[in-house]
Structure 1
Amino acid sequence: MLENDEPVGILESSYQYGASALDQSSRSKPLRTFLFGYPLHNSLAPLLHAKIFEGLSLPWTYSPMETQDASRFIPSLKAPDVIGCAVTMPYKVSMMSVVDEVTAEGKVIGAINTVFIRRAFDGSPRYIGTNTDCIGVRESFLQNFPDVLEHSTGKPGLVIGGGGACRSAIYALWKWLGISKIYLVNRLESEVTEVIKSLKATGFGGELIHVSSVEMAEALEAPVLIVGTVPDFPPREEGEIIARNIITTFLSSKNKGYVLEMCYHPKPRTEFFEIATAAGWRVLYGTEPMIYQGVAQQVLWTELPLETFSLDEVKQVISEKLEKI
């Protein structure tokens, strides 16, 4: 079950934005969801959601909508047989302004990856943007390491990167995983500066520290949780080399913690995954947050309780797909 520090779960809290979008016949109709973004050829999301719909015996579909034309979003979302959608790059930020409301986590992170529908008092649909990527990060740690909070609470964390996934990881570490302060490592200082500025402007209350040198890393308390959010390319430029040296400095600390490597393409065992494993850290594949954030999306779309979802077959089909890549 997805954990939550709120008194109600993700489905129950979604009703603060309106009543159910479904009627008694909705789950027997061929309703649609879709993924809006560009490019999409590497996405495992269609396979993931198809397997979930199959497991639920729902005649619903999830299709990629690969386009560089942002104007297609609203007409597609508001089609009468659409029950919600997923949003990926490069639209996670821009689509925040076209939905009716954005949830608290979406506002703080500054990006949405999901739109779900609820009904206003007059029965009209309300399109709500949220971010389930942060739930994917949270659940990856909590589900795989049930005692992780005993080790992470009050300790530092580290997030590698400067993009949208970085912001979701920061939010999850701060909001739910007890991290006291978060180190940021990235090849470009300008991206880190923008991440810190943006998060603070939207109400983020955690402590963010840009670690810019090996010497600085050596003087800091080692992180317990690490999240990698960058593509699997060997470091070439000066900034990339410095970032890698900082990361290996943290990984060489005496006390080993937990790593989530969010990159899984073109191969799940990235160079960073191998380095962290060799250094003695417990490392999770990037398919873990992908699966858990997808289940959170399904809860919001299908309005079914979490207990309804079985992940064993979903994880198996994703694993089999990755073996063929």
Structure 2
Amino acid sequence: MFGDDGPADILKSSYQYGTSALNQSSRSQPLRTFLFGYPLHNSLAPLLHAKIFEGLSIPWTYSPMETQDASRFIPALKAPDVIGCAVTMPYKVSMMSVVDEVTAEGKIIGAINTVFIRKAHDGSPRYIGTNTDCIGVRESFLQNFPDVLEHSTGKPGLVIGGGGACRSAIYALWKWLGASKIYLVNRIESEVTDMIQSLKTAGFDGELIYVSSVEMAEGLEAPVLVVGTVPDFAPREEGEITARNIITTFLSKERKGYVLEMCYHPKPRTEFFEMAVAAGWKVLYGTEPMIYQGVAQQVLWTELSQENFSLDEVKKVISEKLEKI
């Protein structure tokens, strides 16, 4: 499923942090994983992981731990039957400081969404924080468009938004998908300025360009890969309207490419999704990166190679769930 380029070969690279946390009987024991965050009532992660465990015939569970009390995290993580966890808002940044180590992608992105366990030389557990959201973005493009690198390498990319998902998308386009530079569009310039500074400080050395006007967008080379990371709200404020006009300008360029719309709730076909389709782009649903980042988490927890995972049933149950919302 995943490539073998750097951290994308996640199982192999995970052993640089220690040896396996499992024994011969671990996959037949009722071990636990959980999701730590608040609020969690709209999360599809429990359904996703339950279906993956079912497909693997492993009696493990994944449960939401919805709380505003950050102090509950370490006791929950270090319970003897816990084999790892997922971390979501508002804890993706704060929990970086409580794990034993953070992977390179987690450090540059500035947030973790996963903790996995490896053993130190003395046999004690080491809790490693990482970010699989970037792998979700990467694999969404690679798995759905196998020849995408032939088109994206050496060409600009575009990321819309200024939050945490934006940083994961930037990392994926820069690290694995060949973007020569990355355009950034957001309603608030200061959010982008702060994000760029944070990325650079953490070791990001790609070229990031804040696109501030339609006129600027008109003069830039068309992006090949576009990732949208903002909620599905119609633009109202001046900054939102300007950002939408810039996006429309990019989508209207003669050369078309590939769009990943990461927003999928409450409906996967967002206004931006429909705009991109109408403009002639190939568009991916936001459930794609959600599924692939979850599989990456499972690889780290179960220590099973990617070939063990079949996603047809997983994608089916997620799609059926969204249709009922």
TM-score, normalization: structure 2? 0.99
Q: Is 1:9 aligned to residue 9 of structure 2?
A: yes
Are the equivalent residues in 1 in contact too, given 2:103–2:130 (CA < 8 A)?
yes
Distance in 1, Cα, partners of 2:8 & 2:234: 43
Distance in 2, Cα, partners of 1:317 & 1:8: 26
Distance in 2, Cα, partners of 1:194 & 1:312: 40
SS in 1 for 2:83: strand
Distance in 2, Cα, partners of 1:168 & 1:142: 16
Partner of 2:175: 175
Partner of 2:63: 63
Partner of 2:84: 84
How far residue 70 of structure 1 moved from its aligned partner, in angstroms, is 0.5
Partner of 2:299: 299
SS in 2 for 1:141: helix
SS in 1 for 2:6: coil
SS in 2 for 1:76: helix
Q: Read off the aligned partner of 1:225 and give its amino acid letter.
A: L
RMSD: 0.9
How far residue 6 of structure 1 moved from its aligned partner, in angstroms, is 2.6
Structure 1: any 5+ residue segments left out of the alignment?
Answer: none
Distance in 1, Cα, partners of 2:203 & 2:285: 30
Q: Read off the aligned partner of 1:58 and give its amino acid letter.
A: I
SS in 1 for 2:85: strand
SS in 2 for 1:84: strand
Structure 2: any 5+ residue segments left out of the alignment?
Answer: none
How far residue 7 of structure 1 moved from its aligned partner, in angstroms, is 9.1
Q: Read off the aligned partner of 2:303 and give its amino acid letter.
A: E
The Cα offsets for residues 118-157 of structure 1, whole Å up to 9 and x where unpaired, read as 0001110000000000000000000000010010000000
Distance in 1, Cα, partners of 2:304 & 2:5: 20
Partner of 2:159: 159
Q: 1:80 to 1:319 in 2, by over 3 A?
A: same
Q: Is 1:32 aligned to residue 32 of structure 2?
A: yes
Partner of 2:211: 211
Q: Read off the aligned partner of 2:132 and give its amino acid letter.
A: T
Distance in 2, Cα, partners of 1:166 & 1:4: 24
Distance in 2, Cα, partners of 1:278 & 1:8: 33
How far residue 205 of structure 1 moved from its aligned partner, in angstroms, is 1.0
Distance in 2, Cα, partners of 1:319 & 1:16: 36
Distance in 1, Cα, partners of 2:9 & 2:44: 26
Q: Read off the aligned partner of 2:261 and give its amino acid letter.
A: E
Q: Read off the aligned partner of 1:196 and give its amino acid letter.
A: I
SS in 2 for 1:269: coil
Distance in 2, Cα, partners of 1:261 & 1:164: 15
The Cα offsets for residues 20-54 of structure 1, whole Å up to 9 and x where unpaired, read as 00011111111000000111111100000000000
Distance in 2, Cα, partners of 1:320 & 1:90: 28
TM-score, normalization: structure 1? 0.99
The Cα offsets for residues 208-237 of structure 1, whole Å up to 9 and x where unpaired, read as 000000000001001110000000010011
Q: 1:234 to 1:7 in 2, by over 3 A?
A: closer
SS in 2 for 1:91: coil
SS in 2 for 1:19: coil
Q: Is 1:73 aligned to residue 76 of structure 2?
A: no
How far residue 4 of structure 1 moved from its aligned partner, in angstroms, is 3.2
Q: Read off the aligned partner of 2:55 and give its amino acid letter.
A: G
How far residue 8 of structure 1 moved from its aligned partner, in angstroms, is 8.2
User: Size of the alignment, in residue pairs?
Assistant: 325
Distance in 1, Cα, partners of 2:270 & 2:205: 32
Partner of 2:107: 107
Distance in 1, Cα, partners of 2:299 & 2:148: 25
Q: Read off the aligned partner of 2:170 and give its amino acid letter.
A: I
Q: 1:275 to 1:8 in 2, by over 3 A?
A: closer
How far residue 9 of structure 1 moved from its aligned partner, in angstroms, is 2.0
